[in-house]
Amino acid sequence: MLIALKQRKPLQYLLLLVVFMLLYRFVPQSEANWLWRLPSLFKELPIIINDAVNYLMFEWMPISVYDPDIEEYEQKPLFGQITRGFSGVILFMIELVREILLGGVKTIVTFTSWDWVSENKWARWPALPWTVITGGMVILGYSLGRAKLALFILCAFTYIAVFGQWESSMKTLSFVLVSAPIAILLGLWLGVWAYRSKTVEAVMNPLLNVAQIMPHFAYLIPVMVFFGIGDHAGAIATIIFATPPMVRLTVLGLKKVPPEVAEAGLMAGCTDRQLLYRVLIPSARRDILIGVNQVIMQCLAMVVIASLIGAKGLGNDLLIALNQLRVGKALEIGVCIVLIALVLDRLSLAWANKQTDYFANLSFKEKHQYSLIFLVVFVVGIALAVLGSFIFKEGFNYLYLIPQNKGITTEAFWQWGVDWIWEAFFYSFKAFNVWFIVEVLIPIKNSFLGMPVVATFTLMMGIGFIVGGIRSALIVGGCLLFIALTEWWDRALITAYLMTIAVVISGTIGILVGTLAAQHPTSSRFILTVCDTFQTFPSFIYLIPVMMFFGVTDTSVLIAIVVYATIPAARYTIEGLRSVPQELHDAASMSGVNRFQRWLSVELPLSFPHMALGINQTVVFALSMVIIGALIGTDDLGQLILKSLSDKAGVGNGLVLGFCVAFIGLAVDQILRTWADQRKQALGLS
C-alpha cells in the first residue's frame, strides 16, 4: 500500500485532497481556535519596520549640511544624503536628454546656479524643432532597419506630433531613454553574475520575484523619501520593476548555450572577458533580446505609476484625462505610450541584429552618409522653424514645437464608440455580470474565506512536498506562515481568490492563443505585437469603460488582471514553440505523426521550460496588478496598501503588506519552478 502510494503521484494528490476536505469540514470557525486562524503575532512588525526605516531615513548618522537659503546648518542623515547624491546623477541624465529634445535651463543651472540663470535670461537651451527629431529618428531607423522601420517611425512620430502630445511624449521618452539602458545593463550584469555562481542565483531568484511582485505603492513612500520626488524617483521605481525579467532571460539564455560553444571559445584562446562578450552573450542573443524587449515594455508600463512620484509626461496627462472621464483623450495618450515602446523596441532589435561588415572598404562619404543626411535635415528643420515664426504670427509655431493639446483629436469618435457599445450590449453585460458575481465569484470568495488556516497550510505544503520534497514544503510553509502571523490573513485569502481565478483564465487563454499563433510566423509576429501593445497600454484607460459596464466590482478587477496577465502566458508559449528546431519537426513528421500529435508529444514538451516560465510570469503579472485592482475598489491586500499612503505608520504597513503579496508569489513560484525543473530533467532538457 505504502509503496504504491510512494510511486503514484495522483494517489498522493488524492489523499492530500481528502485530508484537506476533512480539515475544511471539521475545523470549527472561531477566532480563539489556532487551527482556524493563527494569532497575529506579527502585529507589531509594521511599527517596528516603520521605526527602523524612519531611523535610517531621519536619524542614523546625521551630518551637518549647510543650507545657504536659510543660512543655517541642518542635521541630515547620511543614508539619505548618499541616496540623494545618486538621484542627482540620474536626474541630471534625464534632464540632459530632455533638454536636448525640448530645451530648458536645468542643465545650465547644474553648471552655474539659479542666481546666474535668473540674471542672464538669454542662457536658455533651445529645443530642437520636432521636424528635426522626427527626421533624425527616421534616418536612424533607416540606417538600422531599412525602409520599413523608417516608415513606421515616421508614422509614429507624426502621430505624436499631430495629436498634440509632442511635449509630453518627449518628456516620457527622455525618462525612458535613461531608465531602460540602466535596467538593461544592470540586468545583464546581474544575469551573468547569477550564471557564474549557483549561490548568487539561489539568492537572487527570490529577490527578483519580490522586486517584480511587490506592489509599487508599497515602496512609493520610501523611494520618495530617499530619492526625492521627480523624474529620478520615477526612474528608480521603474528600474526596480523592469530589471528582473532581463536578469531571468539572461540566465536562461546563457544556460542554453551548448558547452561545445564555450569550449570552442576556450580552445581559440579566449580570455574570460572575451569568452563572455564574444562567445556566450552573442550565442545567448535570442533570449537576451527578449529581455531587452521586456525591459522596454516594463519601463513604459510604469509610466503612469511613475507619474505618481513625479515623473513628468504622458503618465500624468493620462491620469488627468481619466479623472475627467475623457476616455478618447486618454486613449490617444495611451497610443503614444505604446508607439514609443514599439519604436524603441524595434530600434534596439534592429541595432542588435545589425552585422558589422569588417571587410568593407568605405569612403568618407559612404561611412558618414547618415550623419550627413542628418545634418541636412537639421539645417532644413531649423530653417523651417524660422520660417514658421513668420507664418504663424499669432500663438504657436507649428513648425517648431507643436503645443500641448492643440493638435487634432478623435475624442468624439471614441465617446461615440463607448455610447454605442452601451446601447448595444449593456444589458447583456449586466446580465452576465450579475450571474458571474452571484453564481461564481461570491461562492468562490466565500469558500476561500471559509478555509481554516490549517487546511490551507496542509494543501499548499502538501503540494510542495509532493512536488519537491521536504525542502519545497518548508519554503512554501515559511512564506505562508509570515502572512498568517500578520493580521491580514483574510485579506490575503481574498487576494489569493482573485489571483487563482485570474491565473486560470489567463493561463488557458494565453497557452491557447500562443499555440495557435505559433503555427505561422506571421500570426506569431502579430500576436507578439498585440502582447507588446497590451503590456504597455496603460490598463487605467480600459478600466474606465470596464467600470462603466461592470461597475465597481470584482468582475472589473478580474478583467483588468486577465488582460495584463495573459500577455506572458501567450508570449512565452510562442517563444517556446518557435524555438523548437525545424529538424525535430521534420523528424516527427517523418515518423508519421499528424499535426496535433506533433504538437502534443514533441513541441509542447520541448517548449516546456519556456511555458513554465510563462505561467510563472503570469502569476507574477497578476499579483503585480493587485494595486490596479485596488484603484478600482477591492477589499484585499491592495486596498490596505493604497490606504497605507495616508497612514501614520504607512511605510511599515505598506512594506509588510507588500511582502505579504510577494510571499504569495514566492510560494507559487517555488512549486512551479521545482516542478518545471523536474520535468526538464525528465525530458533531458537541462
Partner 1 sequence: MSLLKSTSVKTFIGACCLSLAVISASVAAKDSTKPIVIPIHNWSSQIVMAHVIGGIFESMGNNVEFVPADTQAVYESIRIGDVTISHEVWQSTFGKSFYNAMAKGGVIDAGTHAATTLEEMGVPNWVIEQNLCPGLPNWEALKEEACYKNFTTADSEGKGRWLEGPQSWHGDMMPIRLKALGLDEHWTVKFAGGADALWTELVSAKKEGRGTMVFNWTPNFTDAEGYTFIKFPEYTEGCRKEDGGDGKCGSPNGWLKKAANYKFPKTHPAAYTAFSKISFTTKQVGEMAALVDIEKMDHQDAAKKWLADNEKTWKAWTK
Q: How far apart are CA 424 and CA 411, in angstroms?
A: 20
- Residue closest to 566 by CA, chosen among 512, 613, 509, 528: 509
Which segment (144-152, 172-180, 522-530, 545-553) binds partner 1 by CB under 8 A?
545-553
Residue 365 backbone dihedrals phi, psi, to 5 degrees: -65, -40
Half-sphere exposure of 66 (CA within 13 A, CB side): 2
Spatial distance between the Cα atoms of 662 and 644, rounded to a whole number of angstroms: 17
**Binding window for partner 1 (CB under 8 A); candidates: 141-149, 247-255, 400-408, 567-575:** 400-408
Binding to partner 1 by residue 137, rule CB under 8 A?
A: no
What sign does the dihedral 456-615-658-563 (CA atoms) show?
A: negative
Residues 6+ apart with CB under 8 A from 276: 192
Question: Residue 31: what residue type?
Answer: E
Q: Is there binding between residue 357 and partner 1 (CB under 8 A)?
A: no
Size of residue set near partner 1 by CB under 8 A = 68
Residue 632 touches partner 1, criterion: CB under 8 A: yes
422-426 long-range contacts, CB within 8 A, separation 24+? 422/548, 422/549, 425/549, 426/549
Q: Per rule CB under 8 A, is residue 328 in the interface with partner 1?
A: no
553 forms part of the interface with partner 1 (CB under 8 A): yes
Coil, strand or helix at 65? strand
Q: Is 96 exposed, middle or buried (0-12, 13-18, 19+ CB in 10 A)?
A: middle
One of 1, 2, 70, 147 touching partner 1 (CB under 8 A): 70
Q: In terms of CB distance, is 50 or 533 closer to partner 1?
A: 50
Please report, as residue ranges, which positions from 650 to 679 form the binding site for partner 1 (by CB under 8 A).
none
640: contact with partner 1 by CB under 8 A: yes
544 in contact with partner 1 (CB under 8 A): yes
Rounded to a whole number of angstroms, the minimum distance from the CB of residue 404 to partner 1 is: 7
Is 64 one of the binding residues for partner 1 (CB under 8 A)?
no
Q: What part of residues 84-113 is at the interface with partner 1 (CB under 8 A)?
A: 113
**Interface with partner 1 includes 124 (CB under 8 A)?**
no
Nearest to 380 by CA among 129, 603, 173: 129
Near partner 1 by CB under 8 A: residue from 316, 472, 566, 653: 316
- In 3-state terms, what secondary structure has residue 344? helix
What stretches of 449-534 adopt beta strand conformation (E)? none
Three-state secondary structure call for residue 318: helix
Exactly one of 438, 440, 449, 682 binds partner 1 (CB under 8 A); that residue is: 438
Nearer to partner 1, 310 or 388 (CB): 310
C-beta of residue 539 within 8 angstroms of C-beta of residue 625: yes
| DSSP classification of residue 438 | I
Residue 565 beta carbon to partner 1: minimum distance, rounded to whole angstroms: 18
Q: Nearest approach, Cβ of 502 to partner 1 (angstroms)?
A: 17
Binding piece for partner 1, criterion CB under 8 A, among 6-14, 122-130, 275-283, 552-560? 552-560
Which of 75, 118, 197, 681 forms a contact with partner 1 (CB under 8 A)?
A: 118
Phi/psi of residue 66, each to 5°?
-85, 130
Rounded to 5 degrees, what are φ and ψ at 76?
-125, 140
* Residue span binding partner 1 (CB under 8 A) among the ranges 11-19, 340-348, 376-384, 437-445: 437-445
The CB-of-657 to partner 1 minimum distance in angstroms stands at 13
Q: Which is nearer to partner 1, 465 or 540 (CB)?
A: 540
240 makes contact with partner 1 (CB under 8 A): no
CB of 77 to partner 1, least distance (A): 11
**Does residue 77 bind partner 1 (CB under 8 A)?**
no
Residues 6+ apart with CB under 8 A from 365: 372
- Tell me: does residue 426 bind partner 1 (CB under 8 A): yes
Q: Report if residue 215 touches partner 1, rule: CB under 8 A.
A: no
Binding of residue 396 to partner 1 (CB under 8 A): no
Which residues touch 83 (CB under 8 Å, ≥6 apart)? Answer: 226, 227
Q: Which residues pair with 65 in a beta bridge?
A: 74
Considering only 56, 289, 382, 437, the residue that binds partner 1 (CB under 8 A) is 437
Backbone angles phi, psi at 398, to 5 degrees: -70, -15
Q: Which stretch binds partner 1 (CB under 8 A): 226-234, 287-295, 493-501, 530-538?
A: 226-234
Indicate whether 224 belongs to the interface with partner 1 (CB under 8 A).
yes
Q: Does 481 bind partner 1 (CB under 8 A)?
A: no
Q: How far apart are CA 299 and CA 293, in angstroms?
A: 10
How far apart, in whole angstroms, are the C-alpha atoms of residue 634 and residue 656? Answer: 18
Report strand pairing: 62-67 vs 72-77.
antiparallel
The span from the CA of 133 to the CA of 137, in Å, is 6
The window from 203-211, 227-235, 356-364, 469-477 that contacts partner 1 (CB under 8 A) reads 227-235
Question: Among the candidate windows 222-230, 286-294, 350-358, 571-579, which touches partner 1 by CB under 8 A?
Answer: 222-230
Query: What is the 8-class DSSP label of residue 359?
Result: T
Work out which of 81, 369, 405, 500 binds partner 1, going by CB under 8 A: 405
CB 511 within 8 A of CB 503: no
Q: Which is nearer to partner 1, 316 or 486 (CB)?
A: 316
Return phi, psi of residue 628, to 5°.
-65, -40
Would you say 3 or 70 has its CB closer to partner 1?
70
Q: How many other CB atoms are there within 10 angstroms of residue 48's CB atom? A: 13
- Amino acid identity of residue 589, one-letter, is S
Cβ neighbours for 462, distance < 8 A, ≥ 6 positions apart: 16, 19, 20, 473
Query: Out of 2, 25, 28, 71, which residue is the one contacting partner 1 (CB under 8 A)?
Result: 71
Question: Segment near partner 1 (CB under 8 A), from 181-189, 521-529, 602-610, 623-631?
Answer: 623-631
* Continuous segment of H or E residues that includes residue 192: helix 166-196
| 11 lies in the site for partner 1, by CB under 8 A | no
230 binds partner 1 (CB under 8 A): yes
Contact residue for partner 1 among 309, 479, 501, 570 (CB under 8 A): 309
Helices then strands (H, E): number in the chain? 34, 2
Residue 407: CB minimum distance to partner 1, A: 12
The contacts of residue 665 (CB under 8 Å, 6+ apart) are: 209, 210, 212, 213, 619, 620, 623
Residue with Cβ nearer partner 1 (173 or 276):
173
Contact letters (x/-) for partner 1, 503-542, by CB under 8 A?
A: -------------------------------------x--
Secondary structure of residue 215 in the 3-state scheme: coil
Mask: binding to partner 1, 289-308, rule CB under 8 A, as x and -? ------------------xx
Return residues touching partner 1 (CB under 8 A).
Answer: 67, 69-71, 113-115, 117-118, 220-221, 224-225, 228-230, 307-312, 315-316, 319-320, 322-325, 404-406, 422, 426, 430, 433-434, 437-438, 441-442, 540, 543-544, 547-549, 551-554, 629-635, 639-640, 642-648
